[in-house]
Structure 1
Amino acid sequence: MASGAGKSAAFALLVLNVFLYFIVIAIAAWAVNHGIERSRETASQLSPPARLFPIYYPFGNMATGFVIIFSLLAGVVGFTTSITGINNVLQWNAPSLQAAVASSLVTWLLTLLAMGLACKEIDVGWTDSNLRTLETVLIMLSGTQLFCTAAIYLGVEEVGARTTVLI
């Protein structure tokens, strides 16, 4: 990779991921809030097994709760990782890039988990338009986070090769 090309690609993908993870946080937080507000009135009419869970989502299907919780978790971790990753990529030295690639890999794995649950929710049946937006953004994020992790890893290889030649 040419000098600087990996840095600009990683930086652009991290900025894109900041915005996409913010969208995931906003939609998932809205869904949790809506579920909490509507749980009391909706779940009181359900049979006992459904009343055991603290949050009942009156929209979506039976996979909705898992998708929303894991999306919120992946969104918060991804947003934080992307913000710190921007700082690490701007420093562009081996220790900071290794920290960025490790946190980026963990974020990608959490995003894949949330995306897998979103795909299961799509497979189970009909969902609300807000949930379809969340599912779409999660699917896009799994790809952009993979490319971001690869770009940062290639930066680690580039900085390592450059450091080895100088020694």
Structure 2
Amino acid sequence: MAGEETKGVASILMFLNLCMYAIVCAIGGWAVNDAIERGFVIGPGLVLPANFSPVFFPMGNAATGFFVIFSLIAGVVGAASILAGINHLRSWNAETLPSAASPALVAWTLTLLAMGFACKEIEQHGRNACLRTMEAFTIILSVTQLLYIAAIHGAAGVAPPRR
């Protein structure tokens, strides 16, 4: 019975994380598109300024570029890890656990990296509402992804039913 309860928790966390990763990717995609459209343009024969950064974003602060890029990477890997976890959710046994746990762990570490840049961006101030939303989702995802990893490990100790 405990295995079925853990399976229910894992499925709820899986759906929640998939939705949040999709939101992070959508906001991150908007930020990258805005940076490309409003970015620094230099004409032929002109030199780059001394303080030019290749990760320049016209909104936010100095940490915004790194935060958005790593959040996008974490969002894509996180969504892929959820899709890989669907197979484990269907089987719910110890044999399918490694194929679900490995990408989930990679997604969690990338989410932690993005969360670190989110904390740096919060510390430096000067960001808009969309970036604050993305920061909040990234910080929340760092916790819910860890809970998801713990929940999918719930099947590891559950013996298959006897027939």
| TM surpasses 0.5 | yes
* Counterpart residue number, 1:94: 94
- DSSP 3-state at the match of 2:60: coil
Measured in 2, the distance between the counterparts of 1:102 and 1:156 equals 14
Asked if residue 48 in structure 1 is aligned to residue 49 in structure 2, the reply is yes
Measured in 1, the distance between the counterparts of 2:53 and 2:151 equals 45
C-alpha change, 1:111 and 1:8, in structure 2 (3 Å) is same
- DSSP 3-state at the match of 2:156: helix
Measured in 2, the distance between the counterparts of 1:13 and 1:138 equals 15
Measured in 2, the distance between the counterparts of 1:40 and 1:125 equals 22
Structure with more of its chain in helix, by fraction: 1
Paired residues in the alignment total 160
- DSSP 3-state at the match of 1:49: coil
CA contact (8 A) 1:57 1:65 kept: yes
* Counterpart residue number, 2:142: 142
* Counterpart residue number, 2:27: 27
Alignment of 1:3-22 (within 5 A): 3-22=3-22
CA contact (8 A) 1:89 1:97 kept: no
- Please state how far the C-alpha of 1:103 moved relative to its aligned partner: 1.4
Bigger Cα displacement from structure 2, 79-88 vs 103-112 = 79-88
- Please state how far the C-alpha of 1:51 moved relative to its aligned partner: 3.2
CA contact (8 A) 1:98 1:156 kept: no
Measured in 2, the distance between the counterparts of 1:81 and 1:125 equals 32
Q: Which runs of 5+ in 1 are unaligned?
A: none
